[in-house]
Structure 1
């Protein structure tokens, strides 16, 4: 294994990590050179590596917390976990590891920087930019190396008994986005195009982008006769929108919304407060959707 340190890749967004220790070897990636860069919309591997950060997750009654790898830009990037990567020690694991951050207190970020030709790693599912979360014998038990230093990661690999080592890695993925064209009733205002990230709540996303949703003509299903946005637990219908295109990219209706929509008899209507965008989109995809806000005001 190679020990590579990149001075330019300190984890700036994480308070726990400072600049790495002095490098034995410093390497710069100056141009796009891999599918990993292309998939994430980045130009260099250094930019891929710099997206990794460390967060603190609190323990709960059913889950043990701790330091976890997470994207520096969680709106643009997410993570997926890849398990079942089994490597053999003969003729060698063949993993090239790069330590991109270290706080000198046992916390670090170590990424897969490549694989050695002819090794088991070269024929595995490992990709550049992956971070190793767990190591162990095939089927377990596993030891966590999440947010560990290069030394601790290598030591953990060495402690695995037997000729085979199973890895569980985390991988950066580019979250899907949806370009939503917002039409106003009767063309009162020009159309707006909003870029929403997969999983965003439609109502909150539009409000944060200053799109007015309070429809005074909405048929209310709550006891509040005062106009407002919202405070009605999804029953006021003031945020109903008409979906003109791309309805398949909205989250499925739950029981309460289905009941209200059945009463409204408007098959194109959705309650923005109960709807998330990005349904069915794959990592890196861009969907397009068209909606009309305040649809009861529209006379067309």
Structure 2
């Protein structure tokens, strides 16, 4: 299906690069808002002016909650957010050095707030028959290099995009087209399937349109879209209790904390000012600390399953975990955990 593309010139606004920290920089992008409707080949547009300055990514020590598939896995869609909120949170960042996920200097979609994270929703199969049923909203653009931020503003109820699982607030990161070819005949017939991919993460309105409308070609009946989606970061409420013997008069031994799902328990406790000091305990075989042991008397299911070595060590103390080997909010769970620290200092 062919789409008629009308180009709108956004206002030429200055671009500001500022150093955020030693790992990433943030891009401030001048904004002109354009809307485009992919619905049976009909396009509607509007334009206005807005200015947005990007910000640093989450200050946590990991990119997003880690999840594996088991009976404790929470459906990530329960943490989806509304369009208006997503539009306020999207920003673009770059990092100074290469890592396993991305190259230095290449813009990537990011969240302005550490309370939200950018998740990957890969390879959603979308039919092009009758139109994809997507309305796009450009949040940032107007640059000569084609960089920007374009998101899904709406999907047609019952349309192809909605059926594929795309929701308002999503941003399209890549478009893939699968193409089949055959060689030979009879028993020697060989069929091959090849793919063509066009990235459009952190691209402006026009480049996103090109990836969706022109790149697949007239013969492509469907495309596979890699989606970036902002989700609320699940949190766990953690009650920490010190032994009375370590508390001065008037000091409250109970502390109420909040951790992000996916945080290491020991590191999270220390980062929030909990003093782990327990010289009476043996040193942990993993981290070498005397104060690694914690008693979990509520919410054990919110921690990652205990490993074989740790289980053997704690055979006589089933409620005790090694905090250096424990992850809170396992598989994106939320809830309440209660722990006691510095265990040898508690009176029997």
Q: TM-score, normalised by structure 2?
A: 0.67
Report the equivalent of 1:169.
227
Instruction: Give me the CA root mean square deviation.
Output: 3.5
Is 1:146 equivalent to 2:201 in the alignment?
yes
Report the equivalent of 2:83.
45
1:93-242 matches, within 5 Å, as 93-102=132-141, 104=143, 105-117=145-157, 119-138=159-178, 140-157=195-212, 158-161=214-217, 162-186=220-244, 188=247, 189-220=252-283, 234-242=287-295
Which structure 2 segments of 5+ residues have no match? 35-45, 51-76, 180-194
Deviations 1:210-266 (A, max 9, x none): 1111112212367xxxxxxxxxx513332311111111212234455445435xx32
SS in 2 for 1:273: helix
Report the equivalent of 1:228.
none
For 1:81, which of 115, 120, 123 is the aligned residue?
Answer: 120
Report the equivalent of 2:70.
none
SS in 2 for 1:152: helix
Deviations 1:116-163 (A, max 9, x none): 356422433110111101112147322111111111111111211223
Q: Is the 8 A contact 2:87 2:169 kept in 1?
A: yes
Is 1:266 equivalent to 2:337 in the alignment?
no
Q: Is the 8 A contact 2:33 2:48 kept in 1?
A: no
Deviations 1:93-125 (A, max 9, x none): 221001112261322111100023564224331
| CA distance, structure 1, for counterparts of residue 271 and residue 157 of structure 2 | 50
| CA distance, structure 1, for counterparts of residue 293 and residue 200 of structure 2 | 47
SS in 2 for 1:244: strand
| CA distance, structure 2, for counterparts of residue 97 and residue 54 of structure 1 | 18
| CA distance, structure 2, for counterparts of residue 268 and residue 281 of structure 1 | 22
Offset at residue 27 of structure 1 (A): 10
Which structure 1 segments of 5+ residues have no match? 29-37, 223-232
| CA distance, structure 1, for counterparts of residue 134 and residue 223 of structure 2 | 12
